[in-house]
Structure 1
Amino acid sequence: MQFTRITNRYTSENIVNNLLINRSKLVNLQEQISSGKRITKPSDDVLAGISVVSTNNSLGKIENYLKNIDNAQSELETAETALLTTIDSVHTTKELTLQALNASSGPEEMTIINAQIKQIIEQVKDLGNTKYGSKFIFGGLQTEPTPFTAPVAGEIQYNGSPDGSHERRVEISDGVTIPVNLSGEAVFGEYYTADWDSDVMTPDTLDGQGLLKTLISLSNELAMPAPDKDFIRQQLDSLDTDMQTVLNAQSELGSLSSRLEMTKSNLQDDQLNLTKIKSGAEDIDMAKTISELQFQQTALQASLQVSSQVIQPSLLDYM
């Protein structure tokens, strides 16, 4: 009699364990259908789970690189717009300079021309202070201080990183960085007091370079009672040089933009391939899984019915 009770107990425990296993399978299938994923926890498939984690890490890095590229492209587009406007300003200045060289231009005409050139100087200074978001894009590594300021009338000083140490770089793929800015000093130049603190007994001299020096030098000469037309012609030649500098900068922006676009395309291809790999590892075949769920529900229901008949407590079980 004791042996029979042990056998019955063993049978009951075995049936209950099988019911729990079947129910666990059913719950797992329900979770898969709800999430659309074959792997809902690492123990579902250890190797596939490791693959999914690795793929997610790679996708996360690609997402960051794509964000960097989008921001860089937007900043370069902002810089290119500023350069296009600068080119227009140089064209206008050349036209005004040719008018000033006209033999019939008198003091009144010179005053009018100079007033327009002074407006262009302010415009170019403002273009040098172009912002992308909260950053001054032509200040080099120093994105917060205003790059171009006028400490005194008739001067414009560059306050950003010097040309050659101005690059701000962003990472666009594993171990690959690219500059996202130009040197404001190289593109726009400056015009400033060169030796204001060297010797109080020595007259200050002005120094500078590039477009702003040309514009301010031209304006200063036009303000003279009798402007030197040979000097004005020299500034016209300088404007051609300054124009080429801006055009070269524009070409550099174009090259950077092309490189960013190519890298972006490659990253998007990698992103698509990795997404497919991830999907193959973790996504379920919905129709197949639903069919398995229905089968498991039927099997569990049948097991419950059979077990209710097999496990019949009797008075002898308690003796």
Structure 2
Amino acid sequence: MRVTQSMLSNNMLRNLNNSNSKLGKYQEQLSSGSKITRPSDDPVATVKGIGYRTELAKNSQYTRNMTTVNSWLDSSDDALKQVGSGLQRVQELVTQAANDTNTDEEREKIKIEIDQIRQQIRDVANTQVGDSYIFSGTKTLSPLFTSSTANSSKDDKDVPLNGNSQNVTIEVYDGVTLDVNVDGATLFRKIDNLMADVQTALNDDDALNAGTTSGTVIGNLLGDIQDGQEDALQARSVIGAKQNRADMMADRLSIQKISTTKQMSDNEDVDYEETITNLITEESIHRAALSVGGRIIQPTLVDFL
């Protein structure tokens, strides 16, 4: 095959153009820090990158969900702690009232404080996280005790409750959900009925005027109050177990984020040492091509004018 001068010139120009493209590619990689500037650079790596970004987006959402989980559990634990403290104070007051040396006036003062504790426990039962009532089961938009009930000092039992006993679940991983509440409806109904019994005992005029009988009637409630404290403590232990699992899940999400980020970096990020070396090598090749190209192009009459 006869190689003409035009063929040599065209090949030289094509090679110089390719060399310029490689130089531009390495410079763009160094400036952007990414090996992929467009999907055509590496289709396989591009598809993997999309997958990694999807995983990170899901991880970010699950991490935000974990914030909600921790808010519910922490608020529940604090609320139940207040309930336990209230019942402990009720136990002290009932122990004091069970002593028949107390006068009617002294027991009336005790009853007034117990009335306030009952209302405080009802307020705690209506604890909210954001706009959600955490002890109302899945009826998170309704308070467990209505405002009229929560502020009532009547010693009635089995007052209507708005909540239910169903679990509130939050997704924290693919196919993994956590229950973030306790059965507040059952717990607070039992405690509220207990408080009603205490109020009734202190309101019983016949018992109050019956000498030692009044102390016996009131003292008999101490066992029930102890049971109420145990119920509140049991609910706190359930919350504690859920908090431990939430902490483990948070660690899992953190580890997954680090692992996925590393994989995405290995897939896309530039190896600066290697890229700089390639750039220097390509620059040397380009200079050599320019030098050889000057020799390939034959002189013309213009060169001698």
TM-score (norm 2): 0.84
SS at match of 1:159: coil
> In the aligned structure 2, how far is the partner of 1:111 from the partner of 1:312?
119
> In the aligned structure 2, how far is the partner of 1:137 from the partner of 1:315?
94
Task: Describe the superposition over 1:77-124 as per-residue Cα deviations: whole angstroms up to 9, x where unpaired.
Answer: 111011111111110000000111011111111111011111111210
Report what 2:36 is aligned to.
39
> In the aligned structure 2, how far is the partner of 1:134 from the partner of 1:177?
21
Report what 1:123 is aligned to.
120
Matched residue pairs, number? 290
SS at match of 1:171: strand
Report what 1:65 is aligned to.
62
Task: Describe the superposition over 1:107-160 as per-residue Cα deviations: whole angstroms up to 9, x where unpaired.
Answer: 111111011111111210111111112211111112122221254532554211
Give the alignment partner of residue 228 of structure 2, picking from 237, 242, 256.
242
> In the aligned structure 2, how far is the partner of 1:104 from the partner of 1:120?
24
Q: Show structure 1 runs of 5+ residues with no match.
A: 190-209
Deviation at 1:235, TM superposition (A): 2.8
Give the alignment partner of residue 217 of structure 1, picking from 181, 194, 197.
197
Report what 2:211 is aligned to.
none
- Letter of the 2:205 partner, please give it: P
Instruction: Kindly indicate whether residue 179 of structure 2 is the aligned counterpart of residue 179 of structure 1.
Output: yes
Deviation at 1:307, TM superposition (A): 4.2
Task: Describe the superposition over 1:213-254 as per-residue Cα deviations: whole angstroms up to 9, x where unpaired.
Answer: 111231233234344444423432221121111111111111
Q: Are the aligned partners of 2:100 and 2:215 in contact in 1 as well (CA < 8 Å)?
A: no
SS at match of 1:158: coil
SS at match of 2:221: helix
> In the aligned structure 1, how far is the partner of 2:6 from the partner of 2:70?
73
- Letter of the 1:239 partner, please give it: I
- Letter of the 2:233 partner, please give it: L
Give the alignment partner of residue 26 of structure 1, picking from 23, 28, 52.
23
- Letter of the 1:42 partner, please give it: P
- Superposed, 1:61-210 pairs within 5 Å as 61-151=58-148, 153=152, 154=154, 156-160=159-163, 162-163=164-165, 166-189=166-189, 210=190
Deviation at 1:308, TM superposition (A): 5.9
> In the aligned structure 2, how far is the partner of 1:168 from the partner of 1:99?
40
Q: Which has the higher contact order (CA 8 A, sep 6+)?
A: 2
TM-aligned CA distance change 1:150 to 1:267, over 3 Å: closer
Q: Show structure 2 runs of 5+ residues with no match.
A: 209-213
Give the alignment partner of residue 258 of structure 1, picking from 244, 259, 263.
244
- Letter of the 2:161 partner, please give it: Y
TM-aligned CA distance change 1:308 to 1:186, over 3 Å: farther
Deviation at 1:309, TM superposition (A): 6.2
The percent identity for this pair of structures is 30
- Letter of the 1:250 partner, please give it: R
> In the aligned structure 1, how far is the partner of 2:143 from the partner of 2:299?
89
